Structure 1
């Protein structure tokens, strides 16, 4: 009887965990709400996204209600990715995730910034040149690369003064390919 009770408890816990992913909300259990600074009133704070500090990429990815594949190989000697998350509607359903890194050599001035939204975002860059990222996924490149797949909106910005503009474009597309 004890084994059956234990088994039922495990099933309920697993179903509850799956339900959180299915209800499309951010799981904040392992995230740290960042301190809001400034003189905003309580009413004003309701319209400002809630920022969360993420202790690790693994924890951040597990907390998201959608799948996100960070790039594994970067075209420069990079510091580990950082991943802050912002909750726009304060309900864990409209999120912005930033993946950021810089060169280990501070003199290089190399920066990678990837913004990912699970709600429709219009980037000014979408007026750029259409480029094929993978079969079935095109994006727009105008110094940054914007694209959408399965209701997830991406914007990849990469700055590297040590290489040509054409190489930056190729590297940016290669980074995006890893995320699909």
Structure 2
């Protein structure tokens, strides 16, 4: 069994990825290993559209926007970059699954990904990063399940009556006329 020498975590700002980031930071702290936080980006319209009309200026803007989303995820998930963990931020161009698998390819890497419920339409339109990583990774992959709160939020807003609870509005006394 190879010891874990680095933890690689996919981050993009969703609740599932923030949960994975928190878990990965705790694990990196406990094992005293570096944490490589990865965010992948693809140009709007996809690579094919961008390659037809390349723009170094726009590539820089998209890369900077991805770096900002990564830092925002640290702020939202951990309150900022942890002082007691060596963090190696990584902004990479490409589809998320292949980028994560390519970065987490060294012996001793542990790839951490977030999971969560996806709506049926989302499952039909987008590939599952988790499935891709589990099928193609050359290192151990840890899929962090959503927290109980995230699981409750995934069900969306439902009226109280549908939850089996009833809210009654107290009678409001009549206001005296002046």
Please give the TM-score of this superposition, normalised by the length of structure 2.
Answer: 0.24
Higher relative contact order (CA 8 A, sep 6+): 2
Structure with bigger helix share is 2
Which structure has the larger Rg? Answer: 2
Please give the TM-score of this superposition, normalised by the length of structure 1.
Answer: 0.24
